[in-house]
Amino acid sequence: MTEGEFREWLRHIDRNKDSRISMKELAAGLKEAGFGFKWWRAWRAMKNVDKDRSGYIDTDSEIRALMEHAMKHWGFVISKAKELQDVDVLISDVGGKM
């Protein structure tokens, strides 16, 4: 998934559309994604990434920290869109055969 797709997933799990993610919303999103121990995973993520202790993931730095947490602890593979563009160019350069 790209960084943009991860952010879109966050927008999807933001049930009340207040542009911030609560622990309850994160747990529901993890459940929807098929993760077990959703409340523990959400609590641990909030503990690690909610730097201002507001109870929400609501700043760009916290979103980036959540991306890092998701890659390290949940097995998410998140790449930057630029990296994917480079791969598309590489595939085009070799005639689409890899």
Residue 98 lies in a domain: no
- Domain count of the chain? 1
The whole-number pLDDT of residue 80 equals 78
Residue 10 lies in a domain: yes
**pLDDT score of 91 more than 60:** no
Which residue range is the domain that position 80 belongs to?
Answer: 3-93
Gap between the Cα atoms of 54 and 97, Å rounded: 49
Three-state DSSP class for 52?
A: coil
Please tell me the total number of residues recorded for the chain in this structure: 98
**Predicted confidence (pLDDT) per residue in 28-61, tens digit:** 999 999 999 999 999 999 999 999 999 999 999 9
Give residue 31's region: left, alpha or beta (phi > 0; psi -120 to 50).
alpha
CATH number of the structural domain spanning residue 7 = 1.10.238.10
